[in-house]
Structure 1
């Protein structure tokens, strides 16, 4: 199975551009989407999910254009939007049965599948409570469960770990890893560690355009030997930031510890090299690199 997105462009009112000549090929496994707020990640996912139509361009599922024939993807799609809503008076079982009916999912195995999904998102103990009494993280977990109801072959998750505590984020990553072998999973998150842990490939988007698509190790290799730390006094920090791309700042007693990317500059005196991460690569690529054309 393959999704091929060709010169996709989405224009909004007043000349706003959501996507600009965006092209990418997505195959089985997990594709992680990274980009600043407003980069076009949600716009791309809504178009793939057939919630929105592009201004022009095509989205091909095994060669068939789903913009022209959205039913091709809808029957095999699981989707968790960023602004997922629930029916507060329904409990988890009632809600998932309602969503199953909307998706045309039924049969003798439905109750067993719902139990399996609720177990997977750790909601069995609370499944008979009204969803309106759930915390934000619990509502997010019921959203993850509904996306998986129809055993989808294409899964789209827009910021799925928002509101989840660290233990639940690990549970979610394990769930996705188990499913990724036989499905296309598109995962957008501002938590870079979530992407780095589960994604087979990473696509970085900025201003509606693709900057880079590669494996996480390949992206990290672009900033190897470019990441340093230096301890400075408070009065030296602003001047240093004007010369180097600082990716993190932490206070250490009377000093500030700055993690920075040397780029084309020589590292500053008294710096020490540190291991690069995907977050370092992401910041380097979004701040310094030209767009893929």
Structure 2
């Protein structure tokens, strides 16, 4: 299975693009889509999900142009949008049965499928309570469940971990890691830790354009031998970051322990192993 996004743009007016000339080829596995708020991630995902049409370009799934044949994509798609809504008076079972009917999903295995999803997302105990009584994280987990109801071949999650606590994030990552053996999973986030532990490939966006795409090893090459750590006086921080990218700064006695990115490290700096957050900050700050 291959999803080809070919020179796709979404133009809102004469000078404003949501996505501009975006091209990428996606195969089975997990693609982590990273970018700051306003980077165009949601706009891109809505075009892939056939919610919106691009201004120009093509989106091809297994040689089928889904802009011309949206149903071909929709039959194979599970989608959790960023602005997912629920019916507060329904319980989780009722809501998922309703969504299944809307998607044309049925059969003798539907109830067991719903129960399995609810169990996997730690919602069984609350499954018969009205969704309106759920916390934000629980509602988000119901959204994840509805995206997986139809055993999709392409799953799109737009900021899926919003509202989830650390334990729920781990549970979610384990769930989609199992999915990725059989389908394409696109996971969008501005939180690097949601991506770095599970993504087979990473795409980094800014202002609607693609900055970098590849394996995490490919992405890290942008900051090879550029990440350092040192201690500085607190009053020197402003001057220090004038020509350097600060990744983190933490108190150490009366000084700051600073992790930073540069081509010209200061004296007494220690070279550090680069990680995905380093590369993400470097690309979004310099490109």
Matches within 5 A, 1:142-161: 142-161=142-161
In the TM superposition, what is the alpha-carbon distance from 1:88 to its structure 2 partner? 0.4
Task: Give yes or no for the alignment of 1:25 onto 2:44.
Answer: no
Q: How many residues align?
A: 287
What's the TM-score once normalised by structure 2's chain length? 0.98
In the TM superposition, what is the alpha-carbon distance from 1:175 to its structure 2 partner? 0.5
How far apart, CA to CA, are the structure 1 residues paired with 2:218 and 2:14? Answer: 38
In the TM superposition, what is the alpha-carbon distance from 1:225 to its structure 2 partner? 2.0
Structure-2 residue corresponding to 1:83: 83
In the TM superposition, what is the alpha-carbon distance from 1:270 to its structure 2 partner? 2.0
| Bigger shift: residues 194-203 or 247-256 | 247-256
Residue 277 of structure 1: which of 275, 278, 282 is its match?
A: 275
Structure-1 residue corresponding to 2:285: 287
Structure-1 residue corresponding to 2:239: 239
Structure-1 residue corresponding to 2:94: 94
Equivalent residue of 1:178, what SS? helix
Structure-1 residue corresponding to 2:54: 54
| Bigger shift: residues 225-234 or 137-146 | 225-234
In the TM superposition, what is the alpha-carbon distance from 1:218 to its structure 2 partner? 2.1
In the TM superposition, what is the alpha-carbon distance from 1:257 to its structure 2 partner? 1.7
* Segments of 4+ moved more than 3 angstroms: none
Structure-1 residue corresponding to 2:209: 209
Equivalent residue of 1:12, what SS? strand
In the TM superposition, what is the alpha-carbon distance from 1:224 to its structure 2 partner? 2.5
How far apart, CA to CA, are the structure 2 residues paired with 1:75 and 1:278? Answer: 34
Structure-1 residue corresponding to 2:71: 71
How far apart, CA to CA, are the structure 2 residues paired with 1:233 and 1:59? Answer: 52
What's the TM-score once normalised by structure 1's chain length? 0.96
Task: Give yes or no for the alignment of 1:256 onto 2:287.
Answer: no
Residue 268 of structure 1: which of 266, 269, 274 is its match?
A: 266
Structure-2 residue corresponding to 1:170: 170
- Structure 1 gaps of 5+ residues are none
RMSD: 1.1
In the TM superposition, what is the alpha-carbon distance from 1:5 to its structure 2 partner? 0.7
| Bigger shift: residues 200-209 or 221-230 | 221-230
How far apart, CA to CA, are the structure 1 residues paired with 2:268 and 2:135? Answer: 47
In the TM superposition, what is the alpha-carbon distance from 1:176 to its structure 2 partner? 0.4
How far apart, CA to CA, are the structure 2 residues paired with 1:81 and 1:62? Answer: 23
